[in-house]
Structure 1
């Protein structure tokens, strides 16, 4: 008996002290105040990276960077479109909560953002490259370096000269440098060195020769982004920032069957973190979110992150935790875009199962018709764009990573679906979402050129519906204001 007790006591002491060592490692990252450099690509799906398994995409720079980094297998943005994704990254809040849940719209008044939050902790916060967040007063960058023209490129490049100048004399403060590329976003390069035979398209894409030929020009844009990232890494080496700085790589969201949707091809992103001597290179399946970035850098800077939708990644960086979030969420709002229509989606992901709820489908409108509800042209028009979409979609991303088979109606998965659905609608209520399970789908106020009832070549609506929504649109911020 004494021997058994002694062995148990020895095991307990070993466990406690091992935990203490782990905690010490984690604590050592807090208030370490490193320089932070974050490179952000534009319109590149996680699936379009050799690091994540693509056989032919030209991503040698990110692949080499990944070998020196902690690579996140399950990283997500909250909305697959430029402004909402970036705003989420810079606020630590999901799009509905921060107010920017349509493209080309502003954050809610009073929302504090990365430059303000880190500025209070003594950091300089610089944006170099693409912005696509507004209003300017809500994003008071310490310095702002605009993209620059580059001969032969289809888009402007990151401002390497300005970055070089800054790194030569960054000042006495630690800094957070956001380097936001415009690549591989369209327009694509006219000249390409790639051939259609090299192209490998995802299984949900058209496998035509024309599609592969178009993809060669997308590959050329990916190559431009890789050249930019390589040039940035060289500058970090030149200015001796590579060894002591936390360097992050991510893309804002996916493109094909990704942008403007809630599929993994839109929301699931490449995300990598390199910090020599502090982060052990490898791969993690921890479920993480763009909302985690702000809490992470606040904790690195010595602050206490409070009130965010995300939480600090330092326990993941240190290896103390293997898990992070239980769930991440997705938002899709197609009002306020060039292809303006009404097809809102919300989603929840547990790292394996992904549940998507489509609020305006032909299936739902058919039920409404049977119930005697009045026909609405704009709802019908939006639903008709997605004739194969069911109201509920569930995917097992472990066995079906490209989300080709909807198992929502499979009796074997009913419990999983119902549980995820309940948690999704609970989260929506917490976020003050303007949508609910059985409520109406409102029409949102947008900029004039994105108005649903405005006629133009992109929106050829019949005469009787032009201007017909006057007085029926609601203010997005008012509709989602905390109550």
Structure 2
């Protein structure tokens, strides 16, 4: 009897010890995670979303073999703050990275740190756009700042090195090298594989310099919004500086060394980074196209042209923009295919979560715009595709309002690592595996970087499946309310429409709830404004 008691006591202690370990899942059961993030990749430019701009067969594979989210959103539509939210699972006003100016505190908790501490091999390769040495990674190879498309510099574990070639291909090559050669094969792994493309100024790879040359894209129906003075909307839409035909630059954006008036654009400074072969390929592709434009439209000041000619030039600008943008995506898609092929050939596909997303959405000519920043739909929404054969049925479509806030708790959930209580997101694992359809019915958004490039005014807001309420503040005090069911293009602000009075009241209540839930306030707005203006005034 004594021996039986000793055996049972030992078994109980062993069980208690196991339950108190940070990872309740067995090491071999924990999934690998490959988190692929591009910069400024609009959901409209992924063929799985059905917009028919381009064909992205490899990114589409993730949706075909897993899930596509139709209403994935961000909490702050600008590069560095979005990435900080992804890492920390906290809103910008909590993690402190509210704009591209404020520093990011790498010492705070993040999901890569937690995975690393709980037995994962971890690497960050590509663009992160956060100053300082990345923490939570066994290996990091990141672009300093925005990085360059051609012959980029990388910070490899903090040491700066220039690598000849095209940035998207280099990022993919080194991500695969880490997977094949450098990671600890006895550990599950987290690879954050982050592409610079398709960020401005959209310099395509040599093999895609002439892709779409035989195609003329029709601008979206709202491309000429500026001609109406953005009727139906407020000051913020009217005073932005992100119009393709108006704010984009002949050199930086349209790739002309000399503009139509005969003036130098400064683009030659960017071409100075190219090697001889790259420059020859570039000039062979762009010089004839630029010359054809000048022959067709002549030289001179556009403002002196008639309306019809100006509109034709506006369509040319749109095509130069959208073609270069889509060309850079083609290289991203190629890289995704290489990574997916590696997983399949090496027996890793079944137990690897693959996520494809962007740090925010982007305007592809809607309202005449490029860039992001606004809470309007094309900027607010982001692509999100996830595959994990062990749990996700192929062809799953999820319409719930998930946010980049939710990545950290989702990855920790899959890894069997407890989610810190101060993380503000929620795991969407049960949406993916079909165990539950319960989810939040509203999301919260903030944007702080003004006055700045593109001049999008500071605002915050709340969105539900149907409605969106935004407050633009600081140098204006304006509210905008949109009904996405009747007005999906967000052309008519119904805030002052008497027929929407009940909706307006309901959305104000939801906004107050969101701000209280997440801990935001007007005091926060003032604090971050003061910090920003100190830098802005001394720039």
Shorter chain as denominator, the TM-score bin is 0.7 to 0.9
| Alignment partners' CA distance in 1, 2:100 and 2:169 | 21
SS at match of 1:445: helix
Structure 1 residue 180: deviation in Å?
Answer: 0.3
| Alignment partners' CA distance in 2, 1:407 and 1:253 | 26
CA deviation map 1:145-179 (0-9, x unaligned)? 34675877476741424533433463222111111
Counterpart residue number, 1:87: 84
Counterpart residue number, 2:43: 46
CA RMSD of aligned residues (A): 3.1
Query: Does the alignment pair 1:178 with 2:192?
Result: yes
Query: Does the alignment pair 1:220 with 2:327?
Result: yes
Structure 1 residue 434: deviation in Å?
Answer: 5.3
| Alignment partners' CA distance in 2, 1:196 and 1:202 | 19
Counterpart residue number, 1:421: 508
Q: Is the 8 A contact 1:121 1:302 kept in 2?
A: no
Structure 1 residue 32: deviation in Å?
Answer: 4.3
Match of 1:231 among 338, 351, 354: 338
Q: Is the 8 A contact 1:254 1:267 kept in 2?
A: yes
| Alignment partners' CA distance in 2, 1:290 and 1:40 | 11
Counterpart residue number, 1:323: 438
Counterpart residue number, 2:497: 410
Query: Does the alignment pair 1:453 with 2:531?
Result: no
Q: Is the 8 A contact 1:195 1:213 kept in 2?
A: no
Q: Is the 8 A contact 1:29 1:314 kept in 2?
A: no
Matches within 5 A, 1:85-234: 85-108=82-105, 111-136=108-133, 139-146=135-142, 149=152, 153=166, 157-168=170-181, 170-171=183-184, 172-189=186-203, 191-195=209-213, 197-206=215-224, 208-234=315-341
Counterpart residue number, 2:11: none
| Alignment partners' CA distance in 1, 2:26 and 2:488 | 34
SS at match of 2:507: helix
Counterpart residue number, 1:275: 388
Counterpart residue number, 2:481: 394
Larger helix percent:
2
Counterpart residue number, 1:300: 414
Distance change >3 Å, CA 49–CA 400, structure 1 → 2: farther
Q: Is the 8 A contact 2:124 2:141 kept in 1?
A: yes
Q: Is the 8 A contact 2:114 2:136 kept in 1?
A: no
CA deviation map 1:377-420 (0-9, x unaligned)? xxxxxxxxxxxxxx111222234333222222222322222222
Return the TM-score normalized by structure 1: 0.74
Q: Structure 2 regions of 5+ residues with no counterpart?
A: 1-23, 144-150, 153-162, 225-313, 364-368
SS at match of 1:356: strand
| Alignment partners' CA distance in 2, 1:97 and 1:436 | 13
| Alignment partners' CA distance in 1, 2:28 and 2:490 | 41
Mean Cα displacement is larger for which, 159-168 or 408-417? 159-168
Point out which structure has higher relative CO (alpha carbons under 8 A, 6+ apart). 2
Structure 1 residue 454: deviation in Å?
Answer: 4.8
Distance change >3 Å, CA 33–CA 91, structure 1 → 2: same
Q: Structure 1 regions of 5+ residues with no counterpart?
A: 1-26, 365-390, 456-483
Aligned length: 397
Distance change >3 Å, CA 433–CA 134, structure 1 → 2: farther
